Amino acid sequence: METENKSLNFLEEIITNDIESGKTKLLITRFPPEPNGYLHIGHAKSICLNFGLAIKFNGKCNLRFDDTNPVKEEDEYVLSIKEDVTWLGFEWSKLCYASDYFDQFYEWAVELIENDKAYVDDQSSDEIRKNRGTLTEAGTDSPFRTRSIKENLDLFERMKNGEFDEGFCVLRAKIDMSSSNLNMRDPVIYRILKREHHRTGNKWCIYPMYDFAHGFEDSIEGITHSICTLEFQDHRPLYDWFIDNVSVPSVPRQYEFARLNLTYTLMSKRKLLELVSNNVVTGWDDPRMPTISGFRARGYTPSSIRRFCNEIGVARTESMVEVEFLHHCIREELNKESNRAMAVLRPLKVIIDNWPDNVVDELSAENNPENPEAGTRKLKIGKTIYIEQTDFMEEPVKGFFRLSPGKEVRLKSAYLITCNDVIKDVNGNVTELHCSADMDSRGGEAPDGRRVKGTLHWVWEGDAIKAKINLYDHLFTLRDMSDMEEGKDYTDYLNPNSHILLEEALVEPGLALAKPLEKFQFLRHGYFCADKTTSQYMPVFNLTVSLKDPWGKKQQKR
């Protein structure tokens, strides 16, 4: 795995120092997702960071499910998360669940109560909110803040035993209602939730809150460096408070880094869930989704995503990475590794008039010019072929060097042809081209050495097969999805062309045998991978990323 590095990022520096000073004997990190949705590319950054650090410093990294809220969590998500982490190429040292520690959490909560550092509050959630104060005004103490330790112990036990309804009371840490850090204003640490938990079933009807649980989870697992995102910076004093006020087995430290933002991409689990439940996309693994499973279906490789995560770096500055950089990472890999194939997405019939009837020629084409070891394949050609509609212009614009009346082009790995005649339907649409081939140009080289600039991909009518092609583009039209206009939401920015299905595509016959997720470069188009539903009866391919296309870009600008 690619671990070599030029300069250390701020976390690597901290860890290096901690190891050199002897503070850290063995680095232990963790990736702690809540199983309430599928993982996305932002999580991939965190995964690569935490697992990558463990690899780099010969440490360990746990996969831990932060499942403290049964209302939102499901086993389906646990399964998908394990699959995605594994697919990305990482192995966890231990598989953990916060819910495995519920008994211990309960004991620590009791310890806090015994030390007069927690109390049961009977205020409603509205009252708690009102009494929390505001950003500029201190909060006010709960009338229940001075309850005796004995009473609190009794009440908390009765909470656990299910004697109270949801919302009737909560357990709060007794810290400081006038703290300028709102997280320290007696945070709620246990709430009553009479819900079945995906792992503990109905054993519990009280569940710990994130702030209370997270540091303890880290401590139990001996996590040395607990890495999370920037929005938790304000929680760090609270994280430390719990660790300092309870007899924990180890003292972890929290460090924060900036989460990944990508242009034209939504990275909120909640909104991604909405896209799925509202059928805006076909599922969490829709190739347009920024989920890891979406990228997998789209044809991205684990190493391309790791490479992306490693190269964007880690810092504490909020930033927005251009999605083009991700495209670059996958292109770079697929260019070297994927075999080439010819696929005509929008076919235009071409009849080679001087080609003898019923004669078929068999040619050889290289599978990957970047890798001679990929070998060659046989291609057959006959009198009638198909080329791309966009490769013909009756009245060529300046700079167009593909086919037009009187012009000569090369059919890739085959022959040079010249367009002689254009057939149109009653509406004036071009339906058929008549060309003549230079029969001495077999293989694509002119016998007299004349230069032919244009090279087109093609398929032969005799053996081409029909295929469905899914073209994809970004789901949203807004570069920075955190910068929406007043009163608009993300549904106002959905890209109507994010998915285009082409059902009349013709592809070379070998593609019938493509295996699900097998990757190809369709010559002059881009990288495609076979859909999970592909079959020899109906091959289906998904666009991973298009080839760079200076000509297309130039045309768009006109």
Partner RNA sequence: UGGGAUAUGGUGCAAUGGCAGCACACCUGACUCUGGAUCAGGCAAUCUAGGUUCGAAUCCUAGUAUCCCAGCCA
Task: Decide whether 288 or 331 has the Cβ nearer to RNA.
Answer: 331
Q: Answer yes or no whether residue 454 interacts with RNA by CB under 7 A.
A: yes
User: How many of the other CB atoms lie within 10 Å of CB of 254?
Assistant: 21
519-522 and 526-530 strand pairing: antiparallel
Active site annotation includes 73:
no
Distance, C-alpha 422 to centroid of its chain: 46
Record the tokens describing residue 39, joined without a space.
């993982």
CB 226 within 8 A of CB 232: no
Task: Decide whether 6 or 515 has the Cβ nearer to RNA.
Answer: 6
DSSP label of 514:
P
Rounded CA gap, 264 and 266, in Å?
A: 7
Rounded CA gap, 167 and 144, in Å?
A: 15
Q: Point out the catalytic residue in the list 12, 34, 83, 518.
A: 34
Phi-psi region of 493 (alpha: psi -120 to 50; beta: other; left: phi over 0): alpha
Rounded CA gap, 530 and 511, in Å?
A: 9
Q: Answer yes or no whether residue 316 interacts with RNA by CB under 7 A.
A: yes
Q: Answer yes or no whether residue 406 interacts with RNA by CB under 7 A.
A: no
Task: Decide whether 3 or 535 has the Cβ nearer to RNA.
Answer: 3
381 three-class SS: strand
CB 72, min distance to RNA, A? 6
Q: Which of 3, 17, 161, 181 binds RNA (CB under 7 A)?
A: 181
549 three-class SS: coil
Active site annotation includes 60:
no
Q: How many residues bind RNA (CB under 7 A)?
A: 93
408-411 and 455-456 strand pairing: parallel
Name the residue with tokens 């989870």: 217
409 three-class SS: strand
Site for RNA in 23-82 (CB under 7 A): 34, 66, 68-69, 71-72
CB 399, min distance to RNA, A? 5
Site for RNA in 79-118 (CB under 7 A): none
Q: Answer yes or no whether residue 6 interacts with RNA by CB under 7 A.
A: yes
Q: Point out the catalytic residue in the list 259, 271, 346, 466.
A: 259
Rounded CA gap, 457 and 525, in Å?
A: 10
Task: Decide whether 444 or 462 has the Cβ nearer to RNA.
Answer: 444
Record the tokens describing residue 151, joined without a space.
């009473």
CB 319, min distance to RNA, A? 3
User: How many of the other CB atoms lie within 10 Å of CB of 37?
Assistant: 23
Q: Which of 26, 79, 95, 182 binds RNA (CB under 7 A)?
A: 182
Name the residue with tokens 């081939």: 437
Q: Answer yes or no whether residue 367 interacts with RNA by CB under 7 A.
A: no
Q: Which of 356, 399, 428, 496 binds RNA (CB under 7 A)?
A: 399
Rounded CA gap, 558 and 552, in Å?
A: 10
Site for RNA in 228-287 (CB under 7 A): 230-235, 258
Task: Decide whether 286 or 379 has the Cβ nearer to RNA.
Answer: 379
The contact pattern for RNA, residues 187-216, with x = CB under 7 A and - = no contact, is xx--xxx-------------x-xxx--x--
60-65 and 95-97 strand pairing: parallel
CB 2, min distance to RNA, A? 14
CB 312, min distance to RNA, A? 4
CB 69, min distance to RNA, A? 4
CB 173, min distance to RNA, A? 11
The contact pattern for RNA, residues 482-521, with x = CB under 7 A and - = no contact, is x--------------------------------------x
Q: Answer yes or no whether residue 543 interacts with RNA by CB under 7 A.
A: no
Whole-angstrom CA distances from 499 to 271, 390, 428, 473 are: 19, 20, 29, 6
Rounded CA gap, 288 and 360, in Å?
A: 41
Q: Answer yes or no whether residue 551 interacts with RNA by CB under 7 A.
A: yes
Task: Decide whether 332 or 516 has the Cβ nearer to RNA.
Answer: 332
Q: Which of 148, 319, 533, 535 binds RNA (CB under 7 A)?
A: 319
Nearest to 542 by CA among 497, 502, 496: 502
Q: Answer yes or no whether residue 128 interacts with RNA by CB under 7 A.
A: yes
CB 394, min distance to RNA, A? 14
Mention every residue, 6+ apart, whose C-beta is less than 8 A from residue 227: 11, 29, 46, 49, 50, 53, 254, 255, 256, 257
Task: Decide whether 165 or 533 has the Cβ nearer to RNA.
Answer: 165
Name the residue with tokens 């939504």: 266
Q: Answer yes or no whether residue 369 interacts with RNA by CB under 7 A.
A: yes
Name the residue with tokens 């016998």: 447
DSSP code per residue over 443-497:
TS--TT------EE--EETTT-EEEEEEEE--SBS-S-TT-PPTT--GGGGB-TT
CB 64 within 8 A of CB 296: no
Site for RNA in 134-163 (CB under 7 A): 134-136
Task: Decide whether 133 or 282 has the Cβ nearer to RNA.
Answer: 133
CB 148, min distance to RNA, A? 21
CB 248, min distance to RNA, A? 19
Q: Which of 331, 383, 407, 519 binds RNA (CB under 7 A)?
A: 331
Task: Decide whether 64 or 286 has the Cβ nearer to RNA.
Answer: 64
Task: Decide whether 322 or 440 has the Cβ nearer to RNA.
Answer: 322
Q: Answer yes or no whether residue 380 interacts with RNA by CB under 7 A.
A: no
CB 467 within 8 A of CB 343: yes
Q: Which of 143, 167, 375, 516 binds RNA (CB under 7 A)?
A: 167
CB 387 within 8 A of CB 437: no
263 three-class SS: coil
Q: Answer yes or no whether residue 174 interacts with RNA by CB under 7 A.
A: no
Active site annotation includes 306:
no
Task: Choose the binding region for RNA from 80-88, 110-118, 147-155, 183-191 (rule: CB under 7 A).
Answer: 183-191
Rounded CA gap, 79 and 90, in Å?
A: 15
Q: Answer yes or no whether residue 354 interacts with RNA by CB under 7 A.
A: no
Task: Decide whether 187 or 287 has the Cβ nearer to RNA.
Answer: 187
Active centre residues (catalytic): 34, 259, 269
